[in-house]
A and B are shown apart, each in its own frame.
Chain A
Amino acid sequence: MANYLPEIHQATLPNGMNLLGVEYDRVPWVSIIFMVKRGSEADPVGKAGVADWTAEYLTLGTARRQQLQLAQDIESRGATLAARGGWDATLISLEGLAEDFPELLATLAEIVQVPAFAEEEFPLLKKRRRAELVHMLDDPREMANLRFLRLFFGDAPYGWPVPGDLKSLEALSLDDLKEFYQRQFAPQTCSLMVVGMVPFPRVVEEAGRLWGSFKDTGPPSPPYTSAPQGLCPPGIYLLDRPELTQSEIRLGHLGLPRSHPDFFPLKLVNYILGEGGFSSRLMGRIRSDLGCTYGIRSHFHFRRAPGPFIISTFTPAVHTALVVKEITQVVKELWEKGVTAQELAEAQSYYVGHFPLGLETPRGLGRQLILMDLYDLGRDYLKNYCEQIQGVTLQAAAQAAQAHLKPEDLVTLIMGPASQCAEALEELGPVKIVDEI
């Protein structure tokens, strides 16, 4: 099995920044990822969106090139520049054909190290972002996701929308973005990852030359690792959207940090519950047996601090209460009785068998490097991954289900037409009508 595992190269650049690389020879491609290990959770209070806006701002021009010139130089090489905030990290990546590696690496170094922060770009960015946020109100699935996080976490960091909202938009200034950049973009909290048809010694040489002047300005904010206080009380919450024909349904409770020792048992338990597509109990019950939805999924968002556990689905509005009741029942059963030996064996063989598929592309490999570096998983993580999966016993899975699934703590948010579902929901328990969250 080990023969196809990529060798993960590591070097420390002269400025202290971590460099990781994988040599990839299938097609002449290179993915270059610059990661700041601080993201939207570090947005100042009331200023949601700072990390994400800062990331985009870097792409709007450097000390040497204005936005159009920069975009032309990148896209004339067929390359793609992406920049976004996220939970626990902000990512700026540039990928393209390996023949252009030196120019791409130099361009990314320029974008990150000498951004222009041109004032004239700010009103344009604000205008674009406002329009995008208003437009997003028309997307029921996205809105249900955002509303659930806001309802559940309240003012705790993981409750803020990554791109900000219409309220925080008015509070943001260019100085906020500059401050975030100066504070968080420091070699000690940043890493560079290169996956592609480029020999690693060449990557080390070029990166050392291009990133030598990137120095600390921080100090960066301390990593956010604590469990939030004052979460939303369990219960059913209904946000009336009379124009929808289906209800968007989200149920969740607090999950675990990525560093928790039960990560692997819980990953397997959750596959069986709702992550495993047609192999999962939720899909089996809600879609295959009842025909009530096209899709249902459960997910533990493992982050640096405890992230949410969320079950997501949608159903024609008249089925809303039935679906909520059945989901709760499925979670309860798994919590009480654990999983069967066959279910566990199948979940394990899924992850082991699927493992090489995740290593097929530079993007897939880059994703692994990001997780390994961000959550300190160790350079042997890929080497040990299958063993960790296979080492989970039936008892460990049952214990993880018992300890970390909390059917009594579920917060349920329905976003749909109240006239078609409120009455039936009342039969499941008190329903709190929420106007806006």
Chain B
Amino acid sequence: MTSSPKLDPAAWQPEIAIVPYRLDNGLSLFVLPDPRLPIVSLQVHYKVGSRHELPGITGISHLFEHLMFRGTETLGPEEFSRILQAKGGEINAFTTRDHTSYFENLPAEHLELGLSLEADRLKNLKLDDENFQPERQVVISERKLRSVDSPFGLVTEQLFAAAYTQHPYQWPVIGWDQDLRRLTLKDCLTYYRAYYHPGNMAVVVAGDVIPEAARDLVDRYFGDIPSPGPPPAIQVQEPLQRGERRAVVKKVSQVEALFAGYHIVGMDHPDIYPLNLLGLILSGGKSSRFYQEFVRVGKTVELDVELAPLPFSSEDPDLLVIAAVAVPGQPLVKLEEELWAALNRLQTEGVTPAELARAQKIQRAQMARNLMHNFYRGLLVGLFHLKTSDAARVNKLLTFFEAVTTEDIQRVAQTYLREDNRTTVILKPVSPGESQALGELA
């Protein structure tokens, strides 16, 4: 029985090797070579998400993501997925507020096929009514699944709608129901031309690949696609909130719940690191404050800080959301009082060095987890590039987390978790009859 000489944790360098390129047409390419397994993650990120939409066409970014699978001049609907799946690929895409990302995790020998198909749908997408109409129906069904019939979907939508008065983060990525119904094929074509071109995208290839060979392949398939240059930047700043906003959503539910959102920062701001650690101190794991004080003793069903971890933080200032689900039969009012009291204690007394050290070690473990996958390595690099223009920052994240002090944690708690900076939405349960009397859900 022999052991690999590589089995020494102390020798590990948590660094991603990044080889960046830029094609003449403006396309950014990042190659992350790693030969351990004969697989690659191919990712195509377009810098367009719901923040680029306007009232009336909300949801178009996500609907368009669906349309990218509906065929080209030479491929039928969903043939893109079928061809690559038949090679063993995992094919999918996701749309966020800031970007739309397509990925194929593939056997490395099929990278060229993946690139050729991605380039094909960028150049030759077939946009017609035959593709558009059924896909719109699919998205309407998806909206019902994620927002309308899900326990807290509508509550979350109301929270963002109330917290943002001017910034496009006020509408959901999936869009409002009435916008989905009135969007036209023409809207989609306009959107396609504005945002889907080499000047507004980044390609990432992570895995068993030689960087120069990957660059040549990307150049072969994408190099001749013209770019009108980056689209104009969306520059909207949400005005500072001046006082708590409250709203109520009535819905058939077994539980009362409270969702509180605090305006924080975007991904490029240094406070994103202490805020992530603060989230872990409050609700990361079973030794966290919220678990010990509320969940373990049965005061709440759930009490979580919802803050997207890096690299999924939003580009512009996000909300840090605290989601509290009351135990059936116990008053939400009392839970709310106790929750604010817990936050006040945090602001006045701060956190202990042990709490901070625990959160920092959790981040280190999370980084190790991310680096196991070509897919996550690729997302880290691609999304940091897209949202901060600094892909290399991924290799400094642990240093940033480790530099955070207990004073930083207390400072961000005081700066952001203020009542005046808070929007609170309450889920109030009603019977099916009362719900119907309130009108149709959409």
- Residues of A participating in the B interface, judged by any CB pair closer than 8 Å: 4, 9, 23, 25-29, 59, 67-68, 71-72, 74-81, 96-99, 124, 127-128, 131-132, 134-135, 137-140, 197-201, 242-246, 276-279, 283-284, 287-294, 314-316, 345-346, 349-357, 359-362
Partner of B89, one of A27, A135, A353, A355: A353
Q: Complex: how many Å from CA A81 to CA B150?
A: 28
Contacts of A352 in B (CB 8 A): 88
B9 A99 Cβ-Cβ under 8 A:
yes
In contact, B255 and A246 (Cβ under 8 angstroms): no
Give the size range of B's interface with the partner.
35 or more
With both chains docked as a complex, state the minimum distance between the C-beta of A138 and any C-beta of chain B, in angstroms: 4
List CB contacts (< 8 Å) of B354-412 with chain A.
354, 357-358, 361-366, 368-369, 371-374
Could you tell me if B138 and A291 are in contact, using CB atoms closer than 8 angstroms?
Answer: yes
The reply to whether B1 and A9 contact each other, CB–CB distance below 8 Å, is yes
Tell me whether A78 and B149 are in contact (CB under 8 A). Answer: no
Pick from A76, A199, A245, A284: contact of B3, CB under 8 Å: A199
Instruction: Report how far A201 CA is from B110 CA in the complex, Å.
Output: 38
Closest 7 CB pairs of A and B: A353-B88, A291-B134, A78-B365, A291-B137, A28-B9, A199-B3, A127-B298
Q: Which chain A residues border B354 with CB–CB below 8 Å?
A: 72, 76
> For B39, what are the chain A residues with a Cβ–Cβ distance below 8 Å?
356-357, 360
Which B residues from 409 to 442 make CB contacts under 8 A with A?
432, 435-436, 441
Tell me how far the C-beta of B15 lies from the nearest C-beta in chain A, rounded to whole angstroms: 11
* Set of chain B residues within 8 Å of A314, measured between Cβ atoms: 141, 145
Are A71 and B9 within 8 A (Cβ)?
A: no
**Contact A294–B254 (Cβ < 8 Å):** no
Identify the closest chain B residue to A59 (Cβ): B286
Q: Which of A78, A197, A200, A289 has the most chain B CB atoms closer than 10 A to its own CB?
A: A78
Bound-complex Cα distance A78 to B82 (A): 40
Contact present for A75 and B1 (CB under 8 Å): no
Task: Write out the residue numbers on chain B whose beta carbons fall within 8 Å of the beta carbon of A291.
Answer: 133-138, 141
Please, which residues of chain A bring their CB within 8 A of the CB of B133?
A: 291
Encode B301-337 as 1/0 by CB contact (under 8 A) with A: 1100000000000000000000001011000000000
**Surface stretch bound by A, among B22-30, B187-195, B289-297:** B289-297
The CA-CA distance from A395 to B42 in the complex, in Å, is: 36
Contact string, B135-162, partner A, CB cutoff 8 A, digits 1/0?
1111111101100111100000000000
Set of chain B residues within 8 Å of A128, measured between Cβ atoms: 295-296, 298, 301
Contact between B141 and A315 (Cβ–Cβ < 8 Å)? yes
User: What CA separation (Å) do A288 and B75 show in the bound complex?
Assistant: 14
- Set B86, B253, B358, B363: member contacting A76, Cβ < 8 A: B358
Task: With both chains docked as a complex, state the minimum distance between the C-beta of B6 and any C-beta of chain A, in angstroms.
Answer: 4
Closest to B357 in A: A76
Bound-complex Cα distance A237 to B217 (A): 54
The contact of A26 among B36, B149, B298, by CB within 8 Å, is B36
A128 and B292 CA atoms in complex are apart in Å by 13
In the assembled complex, which residues on chain A have CB atoms less than 8 Å from the CB atom of B285? 71, 74-75, 80
Contact B372 A99 (CB under 8 A): no
Closest to B136 in A: A291
User: Taking A99-B9, A134-B254 as contacts, is the C-beta distance between A288 and B371 under 8 angstroms?
Assistant: no
Say whether B372 contacts A26, CB under 8 Å. Answer: yes
Asked if B255 contacts A135 (CB within 8 A), the reply is yes
Within 8 Å CB of A138, what residues of B?
A: 151, 252-255
- Chain A residues, Cβ within 8 Å of B234: none
Task: Count A-B contacts at CB 8 Å.
Answer: 225
Counting CB contacts under 8 A, is B37 at the interface? Answer: yes
Partner of A131, one of B151, B251, B298, B358: B298
The 8 Å CB contact of A27, one of B295, B362, B371, is B371
Pick 29 A–B contacts, CB within 8 A, sort by A.
A27-B12, A28-B368, A59-B286, A67-B286, A72-B287, A72-B358, A78-B362, A97-B361, A124-B298, A131-B327, A134-B255, A135-B151, A138-B252, A197-B6, A197-B9, A243-B252, A245-B149, A246-B141, A277-B81, A277-B91, A278-B82, A288-B78, A288-B134, A291-B136, A350-B88, A353-B86, A353-B88, A356-B37, A357-B90
- Kindly identify which residue among A71, A290, A360 contacts B134, using a CB–CB cutoff of 8 Å: A290
Query: Which chain B residues lie closer than 8 Å to A356 at the CB level?
Result: 37-39, 107
Q: 1/0 contact trace for B77-113 toward A, CB 8 Å?
A: 1100110011111110000000000000111001000
Give Cα A415 to B292, complex, Å.
37
Given A197-B9, A293-B141, A357-B105, output 12 extra A-B contacts at Cβ < 8 Å.
Answer: A72-B287, A72-B358, A74-B287, A78-B361, A79-B365, A97-B364, A201-B1, A242-B436, A245-B144, A291-B134, A350-B86, A354-B88
User: Quick check: B286 and A28 within 8 Å, CB to CB?
Assistant: no
Q: Smallest CB–CB gap between B398 and chain A, Å?
A: 12
Bound Cα distance from A9 to B4, whole angstroms: 13
Q: Which residues of B contact A200 (CB under 8 A)?
A: 1, 3
- B254 contact from A137, A276, A354, Cβ within 8 A: A137
- Give the nearest-CB partner of A348 in chain B: B86
Q: Are B373 and A360 in contact (CB under 8 A)?
A: yes
> Is the beta-carbon distance between B88 and A349 smaller than 8 angstroms?
yes
Looking at the assembled complex, report how far the CB atom of B141 sits from the nearest CB atom of chain A, in whole angstroms. 5
Per-position binary interface string of chain B over residues 51-92, scored 1 when its CB falls under 8 Å from any chain A CB and 0 otherwise: 000000000000000000100000001100110011111110
**A96 contact set on B, CB distance < 8 A:** 365
By a CB distance below 8 angstroms, the chain B residues around A279 are 81-82, 85-86
Q: Which single member of B10, B136, B145, B371 contacts A99 (CB below 8 Å)?
A: B10
B7 contacts A by Cβ under 8 Å? yes
Contact check: which of A71, A135, A360 meets B37 at CB < 8 Å? A360
Are B77 and A288 in touch, CB under 8 angstroms? yes
- Which residues of chain B are within 8 angstroms of A4 by Cβ–Cβ distance? 36-38
- Known A-B contacts A76-B361, A138-B254, A361-B372; the reply to A294 vs B134 at CB < 8 A is no
Q: CA of A351 to CA of B285 in the docked complex: distance in angstroms?
A: 36
Residue of B at shortest CB range from A246? B144
Please determine whether A359 and B37 come into contact, CB atoms closer than 8 angstroms. Answer: yes
Verify B301–A132 contact, CB threshold 8 A: yes
